[in-house]
């Protein structure tokens, strides 16, 4: 089976690595200040800069469930696809099989790679300290560049 890395050249791999690093850094920071975080998106522009996108304030006030917010974010990213090379949707999720919370990062590159990365975490009950597990990588279907 072909790895997602095999489908991308070195520059495209760097886009994916850069957006994953940025996504995890922002999510970890957000979790350090609150028990969870609002779904957000990142994209790389034509020059490779990572830009953050947040949900429209009107959407935040509607208290949409996570899947509805992800769907709306996919729609927004599709509208930006012509000026973007890579995108990531970052959300708080729960891994049912391990009963663990996780940071979920859905990454997609316009060259064709699509994957989901999960970073499980636990929070110590009284101190709130975070412990992160090992990254888990899964293939995914394209949603932005379809």
pLDDT tens per residue, range 9-64:
899 999 999 999 999 999 999 998 887 788 899 999 989 899 998 766 555 555 56
Q: What is the pLDDT of residue 60?
A: 56
pTM of the model: 0.90
What contacts 58, CB < 8 A, 6 or more positions away? none
pLDDT tens per residue, range 99-135:
899 999 999 999 989 999 999 999 888 787 899 999 9
What is the distance between the alpha carbons of residues 112 and 12, in angstroms, rounded to a whole number? Answer: 10
**Quick check: 92 and 103 in contact, CB under 8 A?**
yes
The ranges assigned to domains in the chain are 4-139
């Amino acid at each position: 089976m072909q790895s997602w890395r095999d489908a991308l050249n070195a520059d495209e791999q760097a886009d994916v690595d850069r957006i994953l690093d940025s996504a995890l850094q922002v999510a970890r920071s957000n979790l350090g200040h609150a028990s969870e975080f609002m779904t957000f998106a990142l994209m790389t522009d034509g020059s490779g800069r990572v830009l953050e996108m947040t949900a429209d304030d009107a959407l935040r006030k509607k208290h949409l469930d996570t899947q509805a917010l992800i769907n709306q974010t996919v729609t927004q990213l599709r509208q930006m696809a012509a000026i973007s090379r890579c995108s990531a949707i970052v959300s708080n999720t729960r891994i049912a099989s391990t009963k663990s919370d996780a940071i979920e990062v859905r990454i997609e590159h316009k060259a064709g790679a699509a994957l989901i990365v999960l970073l499980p975490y636990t929070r110590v009950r009284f101190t709130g300290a975070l412990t992160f597990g090992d990254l888990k990588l899964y293939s995914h279907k394209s949603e932005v560049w379809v």
